[in-house]
Copies of this chain bind each other. A is one copy, B any other.
């Protein structure tokens, strides 16, 4: 999916909501456990319930990987089920030396490899340019690079002072020499909303993938007012607050209501642009 196509979807749906599919087999509603693939059955119901309000879906690969081979089958079924107008993110936090990153890129981008055809993958920057560039060899595919994450530990290294800057700013600046805003996004946690204005100064056009709204306590209003651009420029993720809004038979209806509430709020911020 291109930058312009993603931007168009945002204004069409009046939403920059990404639904995180952090699907925990231990939290599934009981009545799904008799399905042949309960994880996929849950995801299908969540996608059906939220697709009117979401422009992106982000399976968190750890949740599938922890199920062994059948987890990867659930992941493939889920990805195949996501409507084609939605942007798809493999939240995998991968990154290794060049020949190994090439294989991770194949895993998520080349359907002839592992059966997966994501639009993007999250990548950790620590190993530098040659750990990231193999993911950029695929036309129309995106790298979403960790910059300033939503967790407490982000202070340990990402906010270390490097000269006049902090490390995450060096990451954002240097990564822009590897790819344009048409193939590169940055992860910026909603819990770091106070820094979004600074990030917009050094990355005015890049999409930011923003986790941390909801269960992690970030403010949608703050991050939106500081991060939105004329092209949209944000994908704000919610996972647990949507997936587990209810653990009973009404989980899909409750997920839909949660997603809609976020979309309605997002439409307000888009109207302020």
A residues adjacent to B (C-beta < 8 A) = 22, 60, 62-63, 65-73, 76, 91, 93-101, 103-104, 106-107, 113-116, 124-132, 146, 149-158, 160-163, 167, 170-171, 174, 211, 216
Contact = CB atoms under 8 A, between A and B. Distances in A.
Contact of A62 (B91, B104, B150, B156): B104
Nearest to A130: B153
B107 A65 contact: yes
B103 A62 contact: yes
Contacts of A93: 94-96, 124, 127
Nearest to A165: B160
A69 B66 contact: no
Given A72-B72, A167-B157, A106 B66 contact: yes
A70 B157 CA distance: 37
A90 to B, nearest CB: 11
Given A113-B67, A114-B66, A167-B157, A127 B103 contact: no
25 contacts: A60-B96, A62-B100, A62-B101, A62-B103, A65-B104, A65-B114, A66-B104, A66-B107, A67-B113, A93-B96, A93-B124, A125-B126, A126-B158, A127-B153, A128-B149, A128-B151, A129-B153, A129-B156, A130-B153, A131-B153, A157-B170, A157-B174, A160-B162, A162-B162, A167-B167
A62 B128 contact: no
Contacts of A126: 124-126, 146, 149, 157-158
A21 to B, nearest CB: 12
Contacts of A91: 96
Copies in the complex: 2
Contacts of A97: 149-151, 211, 216
B68 A114 contact: yes
Nearest to A153: B128
Contacts of A63: 100, 103
Most B-side CB within 10 Å, residue of A126, A156, A170: A126
B174 A66 contact: no
Given A65-B107, A124-B126, A128-B158, 19 more contacts: A22-B100, A60-B96, A62-B104, A63-B100, A66-B114, A69-B70, A69-B73, A125-B156, A125-B157, A126-B126, A127-B149, A127-B153, A128-B149, A129-B152, A129-B153, A129-B156, A131-B151, A157-B170, A160-B170
